[in-house]
Chains A and B, each alone.
Chain A
């Protein structure tokens, strides 16, 4: 490595190839325009090119790729959800994730850790039992475990919570629960899409969408007008700004969700530990930082500011679970936007507007769905028909009162 570094220092040119091209000019017309260069938008672009041979595609990103929810989540991947629709969907995503480093030829640091959802009360344990049984029925590896098993697997965990919280009485254990390097997922999909001809335009904001006679006709951007008959909106926390442009009403409300990392430590925490009662989830990243996230901020806000309240509450809860962290410093904290739906399931697929497709409502469950949402949205855009895995998530479910109540989401307290 030092030798390579020295050679790099002495070279005038950057020795590695760029991950993807940086086209300067927009074409006049694309077959598909994808708004949002996060994991979901880039994955959709990748699968449009790879599975369906549609390569005249532009991904428009107002910032830089992966700068939204993709780079702000706590990078947890799991499939122990509670509805048949949700569990099948997320399991398909885990299946894709497990092979994704090879497929994208990029090390995503995908690391299976085992995922504990701690229960601090009999009522909470009952919900975990429910989830475990639904999961088993659907062929997902999930079981309820007692305090002895938790103590043996995570000996550092204080099951009594120092007497500050109700003690841990059991947990839902999901062995395939994993973490991955989230920004690499965006880069890998971006490179894969770019190699197949997709154009990725960063720092290109969409200002309006042209709809004529109920059919998408084009997209206005700050770099000019593009003709297209198909637009995929994959902007998560900014979805309401886009849907307003085409006159589409949605149930989305946007809340920030905050997270933090500590200074790096030697590896000690193998498992992912979640406490629904304390609204805390924590794992140790491959570079040793503890990554911890909380529940949603208590009121709507379309801003990524962070608060002292969060740092205080989260530190308190981390100390309840792991008292020896008292001297460990917080390295940084941040917020991401969560576009929440009333039933904690996403909004995906076709809309009443011809050629306008939506991939939104990603709340607190977006990162783990990146591969499967890309794959199913690409199929939906290509065939103008909802992919079978996502028909239950169509926006029209609200007017039919057919909600998909997903109580396995991270933001649902038990």
Chain B
């Protein structure tokens, strides 16, 4: 069984989680061009490797960030987005 470490609830089976896709930042809607907006809406970082991703713990309603290698499925670390933002 694949285990994912929820920053709030600790190690839980991956069936308890929902995958939310790549962490991306919203372009400034006041200055963004059509091409930049289309790029934001559709395009994704293609290079295989370690990705920052949104994950959601269904049972407790917790959104958090996981750093995962999408070639080996190895989860390097998980943390709350807000906690990381404070550190930066």
Chain A residues within CB distance 8 Å of chain B: 239-241, 243-244, 249-254, 298-303, 305, 307, 309, 342, 398-401
Contacts and interface: CB of A to CB of B under 8 A. Distances in A.
A252 B47 CA distance: 11
Interface in B71-88: 71-73
Given A302-B70, A303-B71, A240 B42 contact: no
Contacts of A241: 46-48
Interface residues of B, number: 22
B43 A240 contact: no
A249 B46 contact: yes
A300 B42 contact: no
Interface of B: 2, 15, 18-19, 21, 34-35, 38-39, 41-44, 46-48, 51, 53, 70-73
Given A298-B19, A301-B73, A303-B71, A398 B43 contact: yes
B19 A300 contact: yes
Given A300-B19, A398-B38, A250 B73 contact: no
Contacts of B46: 239-241, 243-244, 249-250, 252
Nearest to A251: B42
Contacts of A239: 46
A400 B42 CA distance: 11
Given A250-B46, A309-B15, A398-B43, 13 more contacts: A240-B47, A240-B48, A241-B47, A244-B47, A249-B39, A250-B43, A251-B44, A298-B19, A299-B19, A342-B42, A398-B41, A399-B38, A399-B39
A249 B48 CA distance: 13
Contacts of A244: 46-47
Given A299-B19, A399-B35, A401-B38, A252 B44 contact: yes
Contact of A300 (B38, B41, B43, B70): B70
Given A240-B46, A250-B43, A301 B70 contact: yes
A133 B38 CA distance: 33
Contacts of B39: 249, 399
B83 to A, nearest CB: 22
A251 B70 contact: no
Nearest to A396: B38
A301 to B, nearest CB: 6
Contacts of A254: 48, 70
Highest count of chain A CB atoms <10 Å: which of B2, B15, B48, B71? B48
Nearest to B39: A249
A352 to B, nearest CB: 12
B44 A305 contact: no
Interface core residue of B41, B44, B51 (most chain A CB under 10 Å):
B44
A218 B18 CA distance: 42
Q: Which of B38, B51, B53 has the most CB of A within 10 A?
A: B38
